[in-house]
């Protein structure tokens, strides 16, 4: 018969072994969980890198397509015209007729190149906004002056309805691009003798800027395509103006990078209003100032 002290010692050893086995299992399970967590994090990081690479490749494809179809063509036309001038095959009286179209083509091509450069910078270099205090009125007047040539060509009236000192906090270059694209688009889709207005009003911690035109509006079929991610969407203007579809996508991205939102309301054949919000500066609630002279064309 086994003496009691020996049995007790054996039981204690068994218990100790069980405890050691349990601790070993717990440690192994914990180590496995840590390894699984690290593996999931690595897989998530890899998926993110793959998505970023796919987006980068997509962006490059969009840029190359835009360059191939929308920059090469007008530059080719300009080269042909200059060649004819060198050969002396265009009479002087016809040269004056081509001058306005030549100026317009150069202007739109430069605007397109500017959009492409901003687009590529935003995607390939991770451009972050550099917010500064801005007087929105001044940027609007500056932009209206830039687009006034095309407005005059189509006899469109540009009306600046900003009558207050709208102080905002945003990246000035991004804001200029948004204003220029929205006003250029409004002119593009407005027929002769139409009207394009720009106004602003407070909306919480933001100013809401509205660009309204009396143009052709946006069809139901095109509403969902404007900001679509699948491919660029573009429509010819009322004077057969061409584009790449980059402008509104750039506007949306730059508005959102500055903390705002871009939206639109439209009625086919009656016109469209694009609105974007821009953060107000801390001293934005300033006194009203006399309205600047309206910029008008036509």
Instruction: Choose the final residue of a domain: 75, 107, 127.
Output: 127
Q: Do 172 and 64 fall into the same domain?
A: no
Residue 106 sits in the same domain as residue 31: yes
**Inside any domain, residue 3:** no
Q: Does residue 92 share a domain with residue 179?
A: no
CB 168 within 8 A of CB 203: no
**Does 254 lie in the same domain as 137?**
yes
- pTM equals 0.61
Element (H, E) at 291: none
CA angle 16, 18, 20 (to 5 degrees): 70
What CATH number has the domain bearing residue 70?
A: 1.10.287
| Residue 116 shares a structural domain with residue 162 | no
pLDDT of residue 194: 94
Dihedral of CA 145/109/193/213: which sign?
Answer: negative
Whether 140 and 268 map to the same domain: the answer is: yes
CATH code of the domain covering residue 272:
3.30.565.10
Nearest to 226 by CA among 212, 246, 255, 197: 246
Domain boundary, last residue among 127, 147, 172: 127
Alpha-carbon distance of 51 to 195, in angstroms, equals 43
Q: Give the structural domain span for 25.
A: 14-127
Can you give the pLDDT of all 298 residues of the chain as single tens digits?
Answer: 456 666 666 667 777 778 788 888 888 888 888 888 888 888 888 888 888 777 667 656 656 655 655 566 667 667 777 777 777 666 766 666 666 666 766 776 676 677 666 666 665 555 678 899 999 999 999 888 878 878 888 999 999 999 877 999 998 888 988 998 899 889 989 999 999 999 999 999 999 999 999 998 888 777 777 766 555 455 645 544 554 456 788 788 889 989 999 999 998 888 999 999 999 997 544 433 334 444 444 4
> What was the pLDDT predicted at 298?
44
Core vs surface per residue 251-268: b (16+ CB within 10 A) or e: bbbbbebbebebebebee
126: left (phi over 0), alpha (psi -120 to 50) or beta: left
The encoded tokens of residue 135 equal 């007087």
- Do 187 and 247 fall into the same domain? yes
Gap between the Cα atoms of 184 and 144, Å rounded: 9
Instruction: Give CB contacts under 8 A, 24+ apart, made by 53-61.
Output: 55/123, 56/123, 56/124, 59/119, 59/120, 59/123, 59/124
Tell how strand 206-213 and strand 157-160 pair up: unpaired
Same-domain status, 114 and 171 = no
Total structural domains within the chain: 2
> In this structure, are 97 and 148 located in the same domain?
no
Q: Sort 151 into a burial class: Cβ within 10 Å, 0-12 / 13-18 / 19+.
A: buried
User: Would you tell me how many other CB atoms lie within 10 Å of the CB of residue 269?
Assistant: 9
Token match 């000192």: residue?
165
Which residues fall within 8 angstroms of residue 107, CB to CB, at 6 or more apart?
Answer: 149, 150
User: Same structural domain for residues 135 and 267?
Assistant: yes
Predicted confidence at residue 161, as pLDDT, reads 94
């Amino acid at each position: 018969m086994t003496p009691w002290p020996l049995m007790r010692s054996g039981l204690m050893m068994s218990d100790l072994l069980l405890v050691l086995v349990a601790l070993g299992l717990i440690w192994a399970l914990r180590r496995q969980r840590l390894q699984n967590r690290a593996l999931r994090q690595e897989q998530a990081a890899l998926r993110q890198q793959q998505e970023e690479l796919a987006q980068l490749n997509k962006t490059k494809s969009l840029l190359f397509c835009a360059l191939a179809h929308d920059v090469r063509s007008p530059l080719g036309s300009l080269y042909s015209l200059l060649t004819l001038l060198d050969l002396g095959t265009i009479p002087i009286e016809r040269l004056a007729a081509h001058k306005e179209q030549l100026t317009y083509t150069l202007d739109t091509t430069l605007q397109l190149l500017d959009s492409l450069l901003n687009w590529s910078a935003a995607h390939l270099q991770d451009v972050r906004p550099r917010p500064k205090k801005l007087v929105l009125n001044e940027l609007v007047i500056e932009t209206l002056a830039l687009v006034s040539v095309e407005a005059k060509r189509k006899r469109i009236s540009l009306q600046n309805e900003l009558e207050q000192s709208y102080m905002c906090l945003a990246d000035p270059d991004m804001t200029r691009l948004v204003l220029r694209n929205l006003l250029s688009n409004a002119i593009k889709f407005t027929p002769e003798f139409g009207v394009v207005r720009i106004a602003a009003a407070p909306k919480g911690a933001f100013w809401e800027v509205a660009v309204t035109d009396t143009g052709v509006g946006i069809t139901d079929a095109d509403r969902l395509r404007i900001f679509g991610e699948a491919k660029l969407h573009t429509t010819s203007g009322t004077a057969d103006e061409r584009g790449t579809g980059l402008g509104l996508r750039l506007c949306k991205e730059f508005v959102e990078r500055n903390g705002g939102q871009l939206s639109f309301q439209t009625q086919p054949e009656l016109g469209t209003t694009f609105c974007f919000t821009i953060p107000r500066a801390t001293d934005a609630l300033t006194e009203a100032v006399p309205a600047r002279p309206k910029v008008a064309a036509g």
